[in-house]
Amino acid sequence: MPETMRAVDIQGKTGPATSLHITDIPKPVPAAAQVLVKVKCFGLNRMDLLQREGLYPLPPQAGPILGVEFSGTIESLGSPQEEGFKIGDQVFGLAYGGAYAEYIAVYTKMVVHKPSHFSWEEAAGIPETWITALQAIYVIGEFTPGKSILWHAGASSVSIAGIQLSAADSASKVLATARQDSKCAFVVDELGATAAFNTTSSNWSEEVLKATDGKGVDIIVDYLGASYFQGNLDAVAKDGRIVHLGCMGGTKLPEGVDISGFIKKRIRFEGSSLRSRDMEYQGKLRDQLVQHALPKFEKGEYKIFVEKVFPWEQVAEAHQLMESNKVKGKIICRIS
């Protein structure tokens, strides 16, 4: 009989947050170039909600267990020696899935040594969000110092990372949007954004143009899709980049959308995802995280914002809190 472990499963394979429950499943065995990590904490992401509802296109490497980011200790090695890692090492990392469990087998290319001053909760909130932000800024957005950038959903975890990265790397202006005044204040006062605009009480695209003296922003990072599509075209600068990472505002454009900006402004609109990428692509971004961001974490220049930590037995309540859209930062579950 194979060894078993506890993991979060979905009653009926898909369903509401209340369908989440802890059950026993086979314990993974690490293959070559992998380590087996005993999970201390895992982070929640918007894709987890979509996957739970059966609305997320899973890559072939992902199994049915939710979760792509975690922190923990190395329990065993897939090979007698894995370069740079040993049993007992404290690590955090990114996986294709399976982090909502007591153990996870993950490739060493996607594992990072945890700095001693990071809590388990903080470390579990880094991989997916900060790597996604790095990808959006540098790989897709082609950011260079002096460019301006707009982050939608400014109090979301990816934008919290992105705003800090943009400000530290000398963006001329770091703008953001949010749906609550308190979140707008948070991204300006706590994260250092130049300005933030409430999309429920203002015409945010007009405000962006005012803030940039009519030029618009060089890079827009968007998770909303259809509902912000026209506004993005209006607010982006000539030769600008719109980085499309999600469709929380729908996928069908309303009648009357004017796409002439693509030609008039020479706009590049590019969609991307991280989870569907191959190991080589993800590994390069992991290396960028280690080289570009980790030193500033260690100096305290970058902050990890954790909204709330749940015991993993309350994972359903954690999902419900994320669904409320009232959080600023990461939601983390800790395995007892």
Q: Over the stretch 57-79, which tens digit does the pLDDT of each residue have?
A: 888 888 899 999 999 999 999 98
Terminal C-alpha separation, the chain: 25
Average pLDDT for the chain: 95
Output the DSSP codes for 154-200. Answer: TTSHHHHHHHHHHHHTT-S-EEEEESSHHHHHHHHHTT--SEEEETT
Give me 284's structure tokens: 């390069």
Residue 336 burial (10 A CB sphere; 0-12, 13-18, 19+): exposed
Q: Over the stretch 89-125, which tens digit does the pLDDT of each residue have?
A: 999 999 999 999 999 999 999 999 999 999 999 999 9
Q: Over the stretch 275-301, which tens digit does the pLDDT of each residue have?
A: 999 989 999 999 999 999 999 998 999
Q: Please tell me if the domain spanning 4-126+275-334 has the same topology as the one spanning 130-271.
A: no
Give the helix/strand (H/E) hosting 34. Answer: strand 34-43
Indicate the CATH number of 130-271 among 2.70.240.10, 1.10.3470.10, 3.40.50.720, 2.20.28.270: 3.40.50.720
pLDDT for 17 equals 98
Give me 251's structure tokens: 């996928």
pLDDT at 241 over 90: yes
pLDDT for 336 equals 84
Domain boundaries, the chain: 4-126+275-334, 130-271
**Residue range 4-126+275-334, CATH number:** 3.90.180.10
Q: To the nearest 10°, the Cα dihedral for 141, 146, 147, 152?
A: 90
How far apart CA 101 and CA 163 sit, in angstroms, is: 31
pLDDT at 83 over 80: no
Give the helix/strand (H/E) hosting 284. Answer: helix 279-288
Cα angle, residue 22 at apex, residues 16 and 24 outer, rounded to 5°: 135
